[in-house]
Amino acid sequence: MLKYILKRLGLSILILIGVSIIIYFLIRLMPVDFIQSKVDAMNQGGATVDQATVDAMYKMYGLGDDSFWGIMSGYFTWLIALFQFDLGTSFIHAIPVSQVIVEHMGVSFAVAFIATIFEFLIAIPLGITAATHQYSIRDYIVTILVMIGISLPSFFFGQMLKDVLAIKLGWFPVSGLVNATQTPSSFIGLLGDYLYHMVIPILTVVILSIGGRMRMTRTNMLEVLNADYIRTARAKGLKESKVIYKHAFRNTLIPVVTSLAGLLPSLFSGAIITEQVFDLPGIGNVALQAMNKGDIPFIMGYNMFLAILSVVGVLLADLAYALVDPRVKLQ
């Protein structure tokens, strides 16, 4: 086990180095120029920025030399800082990128974490009941829900829920994270205000995400239910519930564990479109603004942060195989 973990860690480091190269060179090719946009804004405001000041700004941000060796030098400088846990300073926020991520990550994590819990609690039981009652009414209902969850765009569905539940019925706030007109007097009141504003965004994410999970669970259960050992278990006189949940469902966990590899980065990446629709100050909303304004340090740091989480998620999923399937031996 230890040898396998060390081998996977070595491969993960190589993968991250490759990802860092791709991220750096793609970001350097971005058509958006933050420095030029900032200079144009200063000129429109009445200030006069000479070329020497512009060159100094490019040099300060490490963007002055566009030659091959200049770009390579900038990459290794950024990589060394990355190994020192320094993601750079955000152009827009003028504070360290890591601080920006920490300040806005909580909202995105809360929405994604609560939505993921409800997704599993709803999707997996519905997938199991659809598989055990194939071609029945409940199976068709689950199939319809799957199609809805897969087909509807998040911006359309989120706007529809906001229009019905918030604007027309007035049950929930339209947007934002807190009530600007009232200040809760206690921590419990503030937490309740946060959760009250998150209801529709969480509902949007849950409804649009359960479709894929239900389909995966149903498909895997149907494959397992046709196996010989399931017929043997039924022939032995075991209860149907024991056959389904102890024998059949346990053997569908490997595909579920595989899908969990992407769960860790999804908890911290933020739902960009959903956060835009409901004006949530999450990390996804901040990342979109940084992309539009050419905030190069934040974009590179944010993507490397997600790459690290993705590699860690894959590693944890590989290790979890041995827990759900005793046949899997890690060498």
Q: How many helices (DSSP H) and strands (DSSP E) are in the chain?
A: 15, 0
Which CATH fold would you assign to the domain 97-281?
MetI-like fold (1.10.3720)
- Which pLDDT value is given to residue 302? 87
Mean pLDDT per 10-residue segment, the chain (331 residues)? 74 86 79 67 66 67 67 80 81 83 85 87 85 83 78 83 85 76 70 80 85 82 81 80 77 73 76 81 83 79 86 79 62 52
- Which pLDDT value is given to residue 3? 74
Beta carbons of 62 and 77 less than 8 angstroms apart: yes
Torsional sign, CA 34, 40, 46, 51:
positive
Kindly report whether the global pTM for this prediction surpasses the value 0.85: no
- Which pLDDT value is given to residue 42? 64
Domain locations in the chain?
A: 97-281
Q: CB-based burial of residue 137 (10 Å sphere; 0-12 exposed, 13-18 middle, 19+ buried)?
A: exposed
Q: CB-based burial of residue 127 (10 Å sphere; 0-12 exposed, 13-18 middle, 19+ buried)?
A: buried
- Which pLDDT value is given to residue 46? 65
Spatial distance between the Cα atoms of 229 and 235, rounded to a whole number of angstroms: 10
Of 157, 138, 139, 140, residue with least CA distance to 149: 157
